[in-house]
Amino acid sequence: MKKGIAFAVSCLLVMMMVSGGTAAKAIQAKFGHGNNPTDPRHEAAVLFAQLVAEKTDGAIEVQVFPSASLGSDEDMIEQLQLNISQFAAPGVGTISPLAPDLNVLEMPFLFDSFEKAWKVLDGPVGQRLVEPLPPKGIRVLAFWENGFRNVTNGRRPIEKPEDLVGLKIRVPNWEMSIATFQAMEAQVTPMAWPEVYLALQQGTIDAQENPLTVIAQAGLYEVQRYLSLTRHQYSPLPLLVSERFWQSLSKEHQDAIMEAAHEAKVFHRNRIASDDERLVSELQAKGMIVSDPDIEPFREKAQAVYKRYGERFGSLLDEILAGTE
């Protein structure tokens, strides 16, 4: 009798340990991005991680790695494909080699407002653009925000396209960014983001272009004197998930992650859009000389890019332009 009771108790203890261990063992996921911990991108990533934990009742834990601590954007894409890490938020140009039509989103002066860009990204065009990605190991959960890109430099105010001629400007190694500044006759220098601050400080390059939030958070006002509000390119930010990781999840967990992605998207978009005016004043207070040039001459110069790529994007570009009118 005593042996029977002892056996029953031991079985109960084992069951409690197993069930307790199972409940406590959350799915671990890594989320990498290239911006620093004070950047809105990091805030959105942290919010996303919190929302995933809440919506899955703690079953999925997302750890965020800022400041390119998991590597470059290109490195993080490879990690997603191998399911070494599970989430990333790189520039759209980083994934365009896997889905070339995504390049259309970064045609110069394609959008003149956040709202017009969001309408395209959240509609049928946005869905079609990302369809080639899952078979290549990554999936877009939502388009977060990067903002409109502007030029900074240490040489002179940029008031007209001619002011860019010969200027050694860093751009990301993205097809549309390179083509845009080649059309402006600048000396284009593709460079990884973590190298940019030192290159500006040492004079290896004269200029760079980025959204205002990146310019401010990276402290580029310390190494750049002039800011020109060219708004030459809209830059969406795709939130990516590893396809292998995604397919390993239950439908319930997939739905929870999608909800978290879209709630964090709303936060990130509103934050970036509302920050632009404030950041101009802050950058001026930090000593930057700000110019707000007439965009039309820059737009005319950029028509060379449309002539070069118009046939390639064809009806897709026409559909986007019609949707922004």
Q: How far apart are CA 175 and CA 100, in angstroms?
A: 10
pLDDT of residue 324: 76
- DSSP one-letter string for 72-139: -HHHHHHHHHHTSS-EE---HHHHTTTSGGGGGGGSTT--SSHHHHHHHHTSHHHHHHHTTSGGGTEE
Domain range summary for the chain, segments of one domain joined by +: 27-323
Q: How far apart are CA 246 and CA 237, in angstroms?
A: 19
CA atoms within 13 Å, Cβ hemisphere of 250: 7
The token pair at 243 is 């396809």
As beta bridge partners, residue 190 has 171
- DSSP one-letter string for 243-305: HHHHHTS-HHHHHHHHHHHHHHHHHHHHHHHHHHHHHHHHHHHTTPEEE---SHHHHHHTHHH
Q: How far apart are CA 19 and CA 32, in angstroms?
A: 32
Instruction: Please check the confidence at residue 17 and state whether its pLDDT lies above 90.
Output: no
Q: How far apart are CA 167 and CA 155, in angstroms?
A: 8
Mean pLDDT (whole number) for 13-30: 61
CA atoms within 13 Å, Cβ hemisphere of 282: 14
pLDDT greater at residue 150 or residue 22: 150
> Smallest Cα–Cα separation from 292: which of 277, 303, 307?
277
pLDDT of residue 23: 53
Contact indicator for 213, 144 with CB cutoff of 8 Å: no
Over the range 210-247, which residues count as b (16 or more CB within 10 Å of their CB) and which as e?
bbbbbbbbbebbebbebbbbbbbbbbbbbbbbbbebbe
Task: Give domain 27-323's CATH architecture.
Answer: 3-Layer(aba) Sandwich (3.40)
Q: How far apart are CA 20 and CA 18, in angstroms?
A: 5
Number of helices and strands in the chain (H, E) = 13, 9
Burial label, 92 (beta-carbon count in 10 A; 0-12, 13-18, 19+): buried
Contact indicator for 279, 219 with CB cutoff of 8 Å: no
Q: How far apart are CA 157 and CA 292, in angstroms?
A: 10
The CA-based angle 255-261-263, given to 5 degrees, is 105
Q: How far apart are CA 209 and CA 156, in angstroms?
A: 14
Mean pLDDT (whole number) for 115-124: 96
pLDDT of residue 8: 42
Q: How far apart are CA 317 and CA 322, in angstroms?
A: 9
Secondary structure (3-state) at 161: helix
- pLDDT tens digits for 239-274? 999 999 999 999 999 999 999 999 999 999 999 999
- pLDDT tens digits for 121-162? 999 999 999 999 999 999 999 999 999 999 999 999 999 999
Q: Which residue has the tokens 């397919």?
A: 247
pLDDT of residue 24: 59
- pLDDT tens digits for 264-305? 999 999 999 999 889 999 999 999 999 999 999 999 999 999
**Residue 234's pLDDT band (cuts 50, 70, 90):** very high
- pLDDT tens digits for 33-71? 999 999 999 999 999 999 999 999 999 999 999 999 999
Contact indicator for 95, 74 with CB cutoff of 8 Å: no
The residue count of the chain comes to 325
Q: How far apart are CA 239 and CA 191, in angstroms?
A: 22
- pLDDT tens digits for 189-231? 999 999 999 999 999 999 999 999 999 999 999 999 999 999 9
